Structure 1
Amino acid sequence: MPVLHTPRRTARLLLVLLAAAALHTVPTAPAAADEPGWTAEPAAGTAAARPGGARPYFYLEGAPAAVLEDRLALTNTTDRERTVTLRGAEAHNTADGAFAVRPAAPAPGAGGAGSWFGFGAAATVKIPPRTRALVPFTVTVPPAAPPGDHPAAVIATEAGREVGVRVHLRVSGPTLAALTVEDVAVRGRGAAAAVAYTLVNRGNVALAPELDIRAEGAFGEVPGRGPRAVPVELLPGQRVELAEPWPGAPVLDRVRVTVTVTAPGGAEAAASASAWFVPWRAAGATGLGLLGLGGTALAALFLLRGRRPRCGPAQGGAGGGPSGKPGARTPAPEHELTGASR
């Protein structure tokens, strides 16, 4: 039997077909504004740290005066040529512990690890469209370079955009893991309480610290913060100022807070500070109440003193002396002055 299509049914079928076509449509390419343009990463190597040969960073180690080599992979994901400039940079911690690199123009005479990098003629690279370029570079370790970690990065720049690839660079020799904890203080009260402290890397290797906060009050131990990793990679010779939330801070107590920090390699340090916890609002209200009560009591005392009866005149007549005669005055007693002439 033939199926009759009414105009309404035909329109409904057309809408269903259009919706199905829209669901199966694949966009041809993302908008150019959404594309990053190009990427920079370590070239795949035999000592890969990730499956498939990809490396999240460079790791280079050598003795003083050694020349270390590696390759950077630059990938152009657009349909136009890209011009990328390369340089090495020394890394450091910001005041709050973030990883950062030195600016492109270091101070004259600075001998940081950023000056050890060499790119030869490839310091400026032109990458054709949809092309991946492998750029070799070298790290020449100075003969007098001290042993330990020298954090650095390879910086790629194009049209104001910078991409940094970390370089874990170590000079062979004795290593020392050492740190100190300084400037421990308790800030804030209640739910906003926090323990502030400063970490200083006194050794020559990068550290991944672990923190433990304990508190002792006037009535015994106060809940602190158990051991936990500090989300900071503390580079050699760097100082960072950190704060740890303390939701278990007491309401009324005098506590001594001890901050203990450990790190792989045997590094350990501790420091303490004392702090008062007083609910100042409640104390203020109590003080005002006591002050008002004291004022009321003082006013009542003055009223009672004002209502006491006054004593009358002495017996023997008004203005009379002991003899009872009016006008008679009691002679004042004589006082002898020792050594005075008579």
Structure 2
Amino acid sequence: MPFRTRAAVSGAVLAAAAVLLCPAPAGARPAAPGWSAAPAPGGGARPSPQDRPYFYLEGAPGTVLRDRLFLSNPSGRAVTLRLRGSGTGSWLALAAKEVTVPPRTRAGVPFTVTVPRNVTPGNHPGALIATGRGGQARVPVYLRVTGPALSALTVEDVSVGGGGGGAAGGGGPAVIRYALVNRGNTALRPKVALRAEGIFGEVLRRAARALPGELRPGQRMERTEKWPDPPGLDAVEIRVTATAEGGARGAASATYTAVPWGGAAGVAAVLAAGAGGWTVVRRRRTARETGPTVPRDGSGTAQVAPGGRELAITGSRAGAGRRAETATGSGSVPGSGARS
């Protein structure tokens, strides 16, 4: 159980801090001039090459794990340090949250990690942080909860867009974006492979390569990949495949259409001009085939322009049928004259 439930422990811690009057460990890295924080040596009370750079604890759900944090003060005056946990901080219980370390003294501060009963097996990182005069020291705490391990990895939000000085498919480089999500309970170091297939065949293939850093359980990592020479005219499917230890595997894809917009605009202009020209030619041809239209007044008699001659239809609408040739202007109509 946490130390706050046992009052006797606090007195023991203060006594331990007072009696540990020995030189500060040579391997401790100072957080600020005059003091440092580090895990207690694993092989005994005296410093050794086997000093731990971090805490590594392992246990099943429901167990209580114990260790000690060493605070070293090689200077000639006392230093007061404040202690707290980070990450899995609610699981950490320090014997004291504030410790005053006398000059030329190394103080050991016990702490416990209570693993929750309902926690997911896997890695749960945290840290112990000491803050005092002149700075801060952070000591990592790597906690592994035993139990069935689950390695699961997904690839999400794959897209292709323009990058640098041009748009995708527009003659410039492209950028492939995607996200990796650890859906399991163990830390993963994923590898990613890229492949692109177009109408005219494969246009991109990159073998699987390891990514920098570690992907913790539940963590999401967003990545970008440069594609310097995408096709100028194609319909492409980009597939991103991620693998990791433990059989974890995920894949996702996205499509994009590469079109040379400058060339497409030129083709569209030519087609538009051709369509307009064909429309004009068709209208002229139709006009020649149908001939002129003769306008008529309400009585059914054709209207004749001055100086012209045409065949007119006389008579009413009901009895029309007589055709006459009418002359206008100064000329005479052939065949006309007085009859006796």
TM-score by length of 2: 0.63
Number of the residue aligned with 1:137: 111
SS of residue in 2 equivalent to 1:70: strand
| Structure 1 unaligned regions, length at least 5 | 1-34, 91-112, 329-342
Residue equivalent to 1:222 = 203
Give the one of 209, 212, 223 matched to 2:193.
212
Indicate yes or no: 2:119 matched with 1:120.
Answer: no
The equivalent position to 1:267 in structure 2, one of 235, 244, 248, is 248
Is the 8 Å Cα contact of residues 255 and 276 (structure 1) preserved in structure 2?
Answer: yes
Distance 1:141 1:305 in 2: 88
Closer/same/farther in 2, CA of residues 143 and 153 from structure 1, 3 Å limit? same
1:80 Cα offset (Å): 5.8
8 A contact 1:224–1:246 mirrored in 2 = no
Calculate percent identity across the aligned residue pairs: 49
Distance 2:123 2:109 in 1: 24
What is the DSSP-based 3-state SS (H/G/I as helix, E as strand, rest coil) of the residue aligned with 2:89?
helix
CA distance in 1, matches of 2:55, 2:215: 18
Aligned to 1:198: 179
CA contact (8 A) 1:213 1:257 kept: yes
Considering only CA atoms, is the larger Rg found in Structure 1 or Structure 2?
A: 2
Kindly tell me the number of residue pairs found equivalent between the two proteins. 263
Asked if the contact 2:82–2:99 (Cα under 8 Å) also holds between the matched residues in 1, the reply is: yes
Give the RMSD, CA atoms, in angstroms.
3.9
Looking at structure 1, the residues matched to 112 and 215 of structure 2 have their Cα atoms a distance apart, in angstroms, of: 26
CA apart distance, 1:140 = 2.1
Matching residue of 1:89: 86
Measured after TM superposition, the shift of residue 261 of structure 1 is 0.9
Q: Name the amino acid aligned to 1:115.
A: S
Q: 1:145 to 1:290 in 2, by over 3 A?
A: closer
1:63 aligns with 2:38: no
Distance 1:253 1:39, change over 3 A: farther
Give the letter aligned to residue 52 of structure 1: P
Q: Which amino acid aligns with 1:116?
A: W
Q: Tell me by how many angstroms 1:211 deviates.
A: 0.9
| 1:312 CA drift (Å) | 8.2
1:41 aligns with 2:15: no
* Distance in 1 between residues matched to 2:173 and 2:140, nearest whole Å: 36
For structure 2, which runs of at least 5 residues remain unmatched after alignment? 1-30, 163-167, 295-307, 314-320, 328-340
- After the TM superposition, which of the residue ranges 190-199 and 286-295 deviates more from structure 2? 286-295
Report what 2:124 is aligned to: 150
Over 3 Å counting, the alpha-carbon distance change for 1:166 and 1:313 in structure 2 is closer
CA displacement, residues 128-173 of structure 1 (integer Å, 9 cap, x when unaligned):
5666544332212234444222222222234795443322211222
**Counterpart for residue 324 of structure 2:** 325
